[in-house]
C-alpha cells in the first residue's frame, strides 16, 4: 500500500515539469518557424493556425466540453460503454465540422490575409488537433496526468523532428502543416487503439453507438456550452482575426510574431489552471463559497502582481533577443509591452473559473460577450488612438483581457457576498 501511495505521489510530482516541457516545445516551434520562414510564409502559417483555432473553438459543436465534463464520472463508475459512446460523439462532431470547412475552402472562400488554401490547411490541421485532444481526454479523466504529459511531449518531439527539417528544406507553410498533421494524426490513432482496448469495445461498435446517441442528447445544454466556448475564444483571439483581415501580409506576420506572447500566456494559464481549477472546485464542494473565493482571490491577484512586475525586465530581454535573432521582426517590438500586459491579465484570470465552478456559466458568457463587443466598438470608432494599425489592435487585446478580468472579479465578489449572506441567514 505504501509503495502504491509513493508511486502515485511520484507521478503527480513529475507530470507537471514534463507537461510544461511539452508546452514549451510547442511554443518554441513558433519561434523556430518564425526564424526559418520568410514573412509571407509565416503570415500564411499564422493564418492556418487561426483557422485551426476555429475548429477547436467550435468544440465539436459543444460536445467536446460535454465530454470533458462527463467522462471522468463514466470512467470512475466503470461505465465503459457510455465513455466510448461520448468519445465518438465528439469525434463525429469534429468530422462534421471538417466536412463543412472543406466545402467552404473548395468554394474558394478567403478572408483578408487568409487564402482559400490556408482555410483548407487550417481545417485539416484543426480536425487532427481536435481528434488528439478528444483522445487524450481519457488519460486526463482517468486521473493519470503523467500519461497525458507523456502523450503531449511525444507529440511535441515528433512535430519538431519531422516539421523542422522539412520546413528548412522547403520554407513554406505547407511544409510545416503537413508534418504536424501527420504526427498528431498518428498519435491520435495510436491513443484511440489503446482506449478501445481499455473500453473492450471496437471502433465500429463505438461509432454506431455514438451515432445512435445523438437523438438522446440534451441539445439545449450542448448549445449553451458551444456558445460559452465561442464567446471565450472570440474574446481571446479577436485581435489576431482583425489583424489577419485588416493588415497587409507582412504586417500580419509581425503582429503574429508579437502575439506569441499571448500564445505563451494561454499555455501557461492552462498549465496553472489545471491545478488551481480542481482545487477551487474541491473547496467549493467541501468548504463552501467562502473558501473557494479566498483561493480564487489569492490566485488571481497574486499571479497578476507577479507577472506585472516580471513584465518590465522581460520586455528588455525580448527586445534584445528580437534585435539579435529576429531582426526582420524588429517592427513588432513596440507591440510587446502592450501584449505583455494583456498576457498578465489572461494568465491571472481565475475569476472565470470561479464563476463556472459556482454554476455561473451564463454570467461568464455575458461578461466575455460584453467585453469583446465593447472593445470592438471602441476600436472601430477610435482605433484606441494608436499611431499604427497594429498598435490599435494590440490595445484592443489588452482592453479585452483587462476588462474581462475586472468584470469577472466584480461578479465573483457579488456572488460571494450574496451567497455568504444567505449562509449567515440560514444559520
Secondary structure (3-state) at 114 = strand
How far is the C-alpha of 277 from the C-alpha of 291, rounded, in Å?
Answer: 13
Report yes or no: 246 and 379 within 8 Å, Cβ to Cβ: no
Residue 360 phi/psi, 5° resolution? Answer: -120, 45
The pLDDT tens digits along the chain (427 residues) read 444 555 666 666 677 788 888 888 888 888 899 999 998 899 999 889 888 888 887 877 878 877 776 777 788 788 888 888 889 989 999 999 999 999 988 888 777 778 889 999 999 999 999 999 899 888 877 767 788 889 989 999 999 999 999 999 999 999 999 999 999 999 999 999 988 888 888 888 888 887 887 777 777 767 777 787 788 778 888 898 899 889 888 898 899 899 888 877 876 776 676 667 767 777 887 888 899 899 999 999 999 999 999 899 989 999 999 999 999 999 999 999 999 999 999 989 999 888 877 878 788 889 999 999 999 999 999 999 999 999 999 999 999 999 999 999 999 999 999 887 665 555 5
Residue-wise over 272-310: b if at least 16 C-beta within 10 A, else e?
bbeebbeebbebbeeeebeebbebbbebbeebbeebeee
Q: What is the DSSP code (8-state) at residue 387?
A: S
What angle, rounded to 10 degrees, do the helices at 63-76 and 219-246 form? 130
Q: Give the position of cell 480564487.
A: 296
How far is the C-alpha of 175 from the C-alpha of 162, rounded, in Å?
Answer: 10
How far is the C-alpha of 244 from the C-alpha of 238, rounded, in Å?
Answer: 10
pTM for the whole thing? 0.79
How far is the C-alpha of 190 from the C-alpha of 135, rounded, in Å?
Answer: 9
| E-only strand ranges, 27-181 | none
- Cβ-Cβ contacts under 8 Å for 260 (sequence gap 6 or more): 27, 30, 31, 34
Residue 349: closest CA among 281, 300, 398, 306: 300
Amino acid at each position: 500500500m505504501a509503495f502504491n501511495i509513493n508511486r502515485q505521489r511520484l507521478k503527480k510530482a513529475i507530470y507537471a515539469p514534463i507537461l510544461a516541457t511539452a508546452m514549451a516545445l510547442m511554443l518554441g516551434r513558433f519561434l523556430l518557424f518564425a526564424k526559418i520562414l520568410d514573412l509571407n510564409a509565416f503570415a500564411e502559417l499564422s493564418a492556418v493556425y487561426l483557422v485551426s483555432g476555429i475548429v477547436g473553438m467550435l468544440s465539436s459543436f459543444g460536445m467536446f466540453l460535454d465530454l470533458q465534463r462527463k467522462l471522468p464520472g463514466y470512467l470512475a463508475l466503470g461505465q465503459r460503454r457510455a465513455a466510448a459512446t461520448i468519445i465518438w460523439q465528439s469525434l463525429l462532431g469534429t468530422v462534421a465540422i471538417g466536412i463543412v470547412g472543406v466545402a467552404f475552402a473548395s468554394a474558394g472562400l478567403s478572408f483578408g490575409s487568409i487564402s482559400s488554401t490556408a482555410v483548407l490547411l487550417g481545417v485539416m490541421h484543426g480536425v487532427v488537433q481536435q481528434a488528439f485532444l478528444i483522445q487524450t481526454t481519457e488519460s486526463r479523466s482517468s486521473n493519470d496526468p503523467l500519461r497525458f504529459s507523456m502523450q503531449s511531449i511525444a507529440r511535441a518531439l515528433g512535430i519538431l523532428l519531422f516539421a523542422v527539417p522539412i520546413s528548412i528544406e522547403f520554407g513554406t507553410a505547407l511544409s510545416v502543416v503537413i508534418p504536424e498533421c501527420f504526427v498528431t494524426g498518428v498519435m491520435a490513432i495510436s491513443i484511440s487503439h489503446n482506449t478501445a482496448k481499455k473500453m473492450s469495445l471496437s471502433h465500429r461498435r463505438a461509432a454506431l453507438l455514438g451515432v445512435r446517441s445523438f437523438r438522446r442528447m440534451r441539445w439545449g445544454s450542448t448549445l449553451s456550452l458551444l456558445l460559452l466556448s465561442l464567446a471565450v475564444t472570440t474574446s481571446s483571439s479577436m485581435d489576431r482575426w482583425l489583424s489577419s483581415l485588416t493588415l497587409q501580409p507582412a504586417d500580419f506576420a509581425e503582429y503574429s510574431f508579437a502575439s506569441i506572447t499571448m500564445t505563451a500566456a494561454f499555455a501557461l494559464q492552462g498549465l496553472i489552471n489545471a491545478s488551481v481549477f480542481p482545487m477551487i472546485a474541491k473547496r467549493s464542494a467541501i468548504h463552501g463559497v467562502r473558501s473557494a473565493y479566498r483561493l480564487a482571490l489569492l490566485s488571481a491577484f497574486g499571479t497578476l502582481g507577479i507577472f506585472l512586475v516580471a513584465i518590465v525586465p522581460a520586455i528588455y530581454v525580448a527586445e534584445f533577443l528580437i534585435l539579435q535573432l529576429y531582426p526582420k521582426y524588429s517592427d513588432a517590438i513596440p507591440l510587446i509591452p502592450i501584449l505583455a500586459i494583456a498576457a498578465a491579465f489572461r494568465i491571472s484570470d481565475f475569476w472565470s473559473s470561479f464563476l463556472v465552478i459556482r454554476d455561473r456559466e451564463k454570467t461568464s458568457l455575458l461578461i466575455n460577450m460584453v467585453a469583446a463587443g465593447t472593445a470592438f466598438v471602441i476600436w472601430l470608432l477610435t482605433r484606441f488612438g494608436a499611431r499604427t494599425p497594429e498598435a490599435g489592435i494590440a490595445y484592443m487585446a489588452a482592453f479585452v483581457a483587462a476588462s474581462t478580468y475586472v468584470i469577472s472579479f466584480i461578479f465573483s465578489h457579488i456572488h460571494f457576498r450574496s451567497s455568504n449572506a444567505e449562509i449567515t441567514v440560514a444559520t
